[in-house]
Amino acid sequence: MAARASAFRALAPAKVNLALHVTGRRADGYHLLDSLVVFADMGDVVTLRDGPGRAPGLALSLAGPQAPTVPPGPDNLILRAARAMGAKGAVEGLAFTLEKHLPVASGLGGGSSDAAAALRCMAARSGAALPGGDALLRLGADLPVCMAAAPSRMRGIGERIDSLPALPPLWMVLVNPGVPLSTAAVFAALALRDNPGLPDLPEGWPDTESFCAWLQGTRNDLESPACTIAPPVRAAIHALRRTEGCLLARMSGSGASVFGIFADAGHAGRAAKALRAHAPDWWIAPAGLLPPEGAAPKALAP
């Protein structure tokens, strides 16, 4: 039997909440959500290596343009996820590299997507089963949907994941205005916590325009409090809306990142270029939808 590869690399795609309805709050303080989630074809990159000469324990090294913003200590979610999956020395000698491209704490699921990519790499390396839903939720509410890494409807506190009808092609421009925004503060500023869920989903959408027309009947309930706390979020949304061809602009998650949807890659690319000229200090990235298997780990040559 051929030996398993000892090095794997996986994309940790940006998670985009196209809609996020807050539908209640449990007695333990956890908020209930009804959210439409997609994943972009860009994000962070996680690499796992092992082999002779590796130091005992787990190691994490950081690279990429956003690396200086990442806490490297043992509480990093990649290391927590690896410890949760490993058992009886199974994680000894493993070394992760996180190539960080997504802004930290930005509403794009970066930490959770990084952890999910690390778990996929570990499963590919060892053949072990991936953790179940309860174990993933103990790491974070976004872990189950980031492990799915496919267009999904996420409900409850993140434990209920359902596949979406086939989506038309989507091109996005992701923007982060570079302002700190606390998720806890955004939820604390939410005026209403018992809102209606998403409208009924159709069997599908024939094109991007009809999908965005349906999305206009949804919302992000966290957008208004986030914009009150951090006005640059509203400025980024308005800047996106003014770009040619933008069909919808909205905040993702609890912010501070926002997104615009476009019907084709050309309009998305030109919008990104115009926004960079308008606000050179913002983080701006054009993106498409993650293709099927786009987050699957790939074995690296020795």
SS (H, E, C) the chain: CCCCCCEEEEEEEEEEEEEEEEEEECCCCCEEEEEEEEEEEEEEEEEEECCCCCCCCEEEEEECCCHHHCCCCCCCHHHHHHHHHCCCCCCCCEEEEEECCCCCCCCCCHHHHHHHHHHHHHHHHHCCCCCCHHHHHHHCCCHHHHHHCCCEEEEECCCEEEECCCCCCCEEEEEECCCCCCHHHHHHCCCCCCCCCCCCCCCCCCCHHHHHHHHCCCCECCHHHHHHHCHHHHHHHHHHHCCCCEEEEEECCCCCCEEEEECCHHHHHHHHHHHHHHCCCCEEEEEEECCCCCCCCEECCC
List 34, 50, 142, 221, catalytic entry: 142
Residues 172 and 262: beta-carbon distance below 8 Å:
yes
State yes or no: is 28 an active-site residue.
no
pLDDT in single tens digits along all 302 residues of the chain? 345 668 999 999 999 999 999 999 999 999 999 999 999 999 999 999 985 555 557 889 999 999 999 977 888 999 999 988 875 445 667 899 999 999 998 999 999 999 999 999 999 998 888 988 899 999 999 999 999 999 999 999 999 999 999 999 999 999 999 999 999 999 999 999 999 999 999 999 999 999 999 999 999 999 999 999 999 999 999 999 999 999 999 999 999 999 999 999 999 999 999 999 999 999 999 999 999 999 999 999 76
Predicted pLDDT of residue 88: 40
Establish whether 281 is a catalytic residue: no
pLDDT score of 25: 96
Q: In this structure, are residues 2 and 112 in contact, taking their beta carbons and an 8 Å threshold?
A: no
Where does CATH 3.30.70.890 sit in the chain?
171-288
Q: Identify whether the C-beta of residue 62 lies closer than 8 Å to the C-beta of residue 96.
A: no
171-288 folds as: Alpha-Beta Plaits (3.30.70)
- Every domain of the chain with CATH number 3.30.230.10 lies at 7-163
| Distance between CA atoms of residues 237 and 164, nearest Å | 26
Report the distance separating Cα 93 and Cα 7, nearest Å. 12
Q: Specify the CATH number for 7-163; select among 3.40.50.1980, 3.40.50.2000, 3.40.109.10, 3.30.230.10.
A: 3.30.230.10
Options 15, 34, 114, 221, the catalytic residue: 15
Please say whether the beta carbons of 11 and 45 come within 8 A: yes
pLDDT value at residue 281: 97
Structure tokens given for 214:
């349906």
What pLDDT, on the 0 to 100 scale, is given for residue 56?
Answer: 59
> What is the pTM (predicted TM-score) of this model?
0.95
